[in-house]
Amino acid sequence: MPTLHRARLLHTGTRTLRDAAVLVDGATVTAIGPYAALADGPARVRDWPGVLVPGLLNPHAAWLLEHAYHPDPREELGDHPLPPPAGLTDGQWGGSARRGLQRLLGHGATALAGPLHRPAVRTATARSGLRHLPGPDTGPGPLDPLAGRPLANAVHRPLAVGAAADFAVFAAATVEELDGGGAACLATVLGGRLVYRRA
């Protein structure tokens, strides 16, 4: 069954609509427009507060996954990337990468860039569904793709009918509040699947 994602503000990457929605069927966006115009069809409705925007690209993700360690919550070391302990096995790198990928999704990232050399990290990334783009290693950077950047520079690709249903919802009253980062991500949808939802 299609899903209609409704938001107070919807920013496609090129325009902003109030009380609007994205209709998703499978992995694809099939309609974008005012909620009232799309609400008549048979679809499950997800009503989101805040601002719905296209999925974001994290240009530092390769470094974050291959050169930083994402601790397991049971280690009680917090949820920020740390310098990796010496002697991590491939399995431990894979576990760290899976946790790092989940944390990237928790910041609205649906795509990452940079070379991935570790097999365990490549496997975790492929299984996560995040779009992996080629590109240079940009070095250290934050998990939040919006930190220090305007939204326009962080969008992976605009939301469009016929394109992949990759988007995120943030707790914000205006689109401008997202510039520079720090807004709480409420949900991330990747290929039409709800892959992150803030507790």
* Residues 65, 132 contacting (CB under 8 angstroms): no
Q: Specify the pTM.
A: 0.93
The residue with tokens 């296209």 is 54
User: What percentage of residues in the chain have a pLDDT greater than 70?
Assistant: 100
Q: How confident is the model at residue 145 (pLDDT cuts 50, 70, 90)?
A: very high
Q: How many Å apart are CA 3 and CA 113, to the nearest integer?
A: 29
Q: Which long-range contacts (CB under 8 A, 24 or more apart) does 68-77 make?
A: 68/96, 68/100, 68/140, 69/96, 70/96, 70/97, 70/99, 70/100, 70/103, 71/96, 71/99, 72/99
pLDDT digits 0-9 by tens, 115-144: 999 999 999 999 999 999 988 888 899 999
Question: What is the per-residue pLDDT for 100?
Answer: 96
Domains detected in the chain = 3-55+157-197 (2.30.40.10), 57-133 (no CATH)
